[in-house]
């Protein structure tokens, strides 16, 4: 999604945003069902830490509808994950912006 946003590939970005919006809907009961499905699906890799990336993507694409459930999931993370981030795949660090960490009181 980040590359489609950077290079202006709108149809790819729209498709990725559609998937993100389906998983991070504004209706809490739907979020819970989708989350259970994602966490139990053998071909999908998702961890609660991915909520940090969802927040970044939501802000990057101005898709605020995904932020509520992503912030909710972040409440399950240890404070150091919010403040310092975490390493994905051994080389990519996902972290919250200073503004986001201030929301959690971890800045």
Instruction: Enter the pTM of the model.
Output: 0.74
**Quick check: 77 and 48 in contact, CB under 8 A?**
yes
What pLDDT digit, counting tens, does each position of 45-88 carry? 777 778 888 888 888 898 989 988 888 888 888 888 777 777 77
Q: Which stretch of 15-24, 64-73, 84-93, 96-105 has the lowest confidence by average pLDDT?
A: 96-105
Please give the share of the chain, as a percent, with pLDDT higher than 70.
85
Instruction: Please report which residue ranges of the chain form alpha helices under DSSP H.
Output: 2-6, 10-23, 28-40, 50-60, 67-74, 79-84, 98-104
């Amino acid at each position: 999604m980040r590359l489609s946003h950077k290079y202006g590939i709108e149809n790819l970005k729209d498709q990725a945003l559609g998937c993100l919006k389906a998983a991070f809907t504004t209706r809490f009961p739907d979020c819970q069902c989708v989350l259970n499905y994602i966490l139990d699906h053998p071909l999908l890799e998702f961890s609660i830490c991915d909520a940090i990336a969802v927040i970044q993507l939501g802000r990057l694409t101005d898709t605020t509808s995904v932020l509520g459930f992503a912030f909710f999931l972040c409440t399950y993370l240890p404070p150091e994950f919010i403040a310092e981030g975490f390493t994905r795949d051994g080389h990519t660090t996902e972290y919250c912006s200073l503004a986001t960490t201030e929301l959690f009181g971890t800045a």
